[in-house]
Chains A and B, each alone.
Chain A
């Protein structure tokens, strides 16, 4: 099966007024976003929303465009076409208002290895204008919450991979965001560390009402109650509740649905069922 004959579930093109209203209600609204590196198109007409207090999985193979999309949402790249807003704040028009509601865990590690755990958190707090005393209180709280309170004074380079990821999540939560982006946050971790991190992030959704966009290429990180966006070769092939996407693809699980949608059975080696 090739991509062309795959039973793609094309998202219904929304009209402008409904998109505008959705953007105001959504934690994250991606509206007609396209991006190219020179002549190479990385993203083409991406449309989807992430609701507050929801877990949305962004599923795609390596090279699907997930990291480019994250770079656009975080303003590391400029938007060439389309609109991105966070809780109604257009990131081009009101970047400060948008970014202060956003917490990010990038795929590559972004901690300062030579600083201690607490120093990394205090630095992040300063970048959000949080005064030192308040920052210390918040640091203590997030470190306790992620079980790293006893490592507060340790150099980051002395932490394990899983602890570093947890610290990055703690750092992303330090300024009290309402939307959390995680770009393949469990890559390179062992099974237990993966499960711990995923469980913690899901708790953030249910207990704190944070909207989460979780980029992954691992099927087992997706549950039936999640929202799912299937990204392939820079295009959204399907978007909706997992059960709906599976049913619409005529499949009985996410794995099969993804293969049918992408027609990528031959390339699926990179995916872990």
Chain B
């Protein structure tokens, strides 16, 4: 039995090797996504239910005045579309972190973490892979929404892409950070309820902030400091070819902070993997 497998060289990794690693992680995430078709369907059904049922019901109740980036009166469905796009990314970010908890419990995570490439890079690739999957979901949603007259300017489909990438990274990094603190898969449902719903409802996804301020000044400030609000506004403006600089700054800062937190938490000398193995195995 002979071997022709090349032994690794002793030097560092080249740029193409980093790209190969990124491609591999994105490819695996895409394969898993394709194998879980119900995940794709449910990711689309959720915002579509909000769009077709919730928005239709509230259209007459919630009037939308002319606010940037809109230049005229708009239907309520048009207003909540960016919020629903961000919602897809929020759920996807949490779903990705759920899969990290699952991978950790099932042992798959070890395959990733014993790779010789830098751990921060592996986690970043994992984050990018999750974001890429969320982009597929968002554009599928936009396609369906187009048939219901939610049609931003054609250029908006392109200009919204960087905003979606950034917001996807932020929400994915948040999910990754949260996943590092989850000991068991069962605990994740509670975290979903304590993170997803408060983030979504206490934001500008469903109603403009000026309306929130009229109803509850305190809730207004909660919404204002909610990073998800800024993800929504970043997407909303970008969909109309504009940049909301405040939201861009907040989302960028939060992405960086969450990512650093996640890398810190997954560092072998701290956080997540420092705990004793489960089941008494030592």
Contacts and interface: CB of A to CB of B under 8 A. Distances in A.
Given A106-B107, A109-B107, A138-B5, A78 B20 contact: no
B276 A40 contact: yes
A126 interface: yes
A89 to B, nearest CB: 8
B171 to A, nearest CB: 24
A165 to B, nearest CB: 13
Contacts, number: 151
Contact of A176 (B2, B8, B20, B111): B8
Contacts of B13: 96, 129
Interface string B83-113: 0000000000000000000000011101111
Interface in A177-199: 177-178
A67 interface: yes
B1 interface: yes
Interface range, A side: 35 or more
A132 B282 CA distance: 37
Contacts of B267: 78
Contact of B116 (A95, A112, A173): A95
A24 B178 CA distance: 40
Contacts of A111: 108
A115 B111 CA distance: 14
Contacts of B117: 96, 127-129
A51 to B, nearest CB: 17
A119 B25 CA distance: 11
Contacts of B4: 141
B282 A76 contact: no
A103 to B, nearest CB: 9
Interface stretch (A14-22, A58-66, A262-270): A58-66
B182 to A, nearest CB: 17
A256 interface: no
24 contacts: A74-B110, A76-B110, A96-B13, A96-B118, A99-B116, A101-B8, A106-B107, A109-B106, A112-B108, A114-B31, A119-B28, A119-B31, A122-B27, A124-B111, A125-B24, A126-B24, A127-B21, A129-B20, A131-B17, A145-B1, A173-B5, A174-B5, A175-B8, A176-B3
Interface of B: 1-8, 10, 12-14, 16-18, 20-21, 23-25, 27-28, 31-32, 35, 106-108, 110-118, 122, 267-270, 273-277, 280-282
Interface of A: 37, 40, 42, 62-68, 71, 74-79, 95-102, 104, 106-112, 114-115, 119, 122-132, 134, 138, 141-142, 145, 173-178, 203, 207-208, 234
Given A79-B269, A123-B24, 12 more contacts: A63-B280, A71-B277, A76-B113, A78-B269, A100-B116, A101-B8, A108-B106, A114-B32, A122-B27, A123-B28, A126-B23, A128-B116
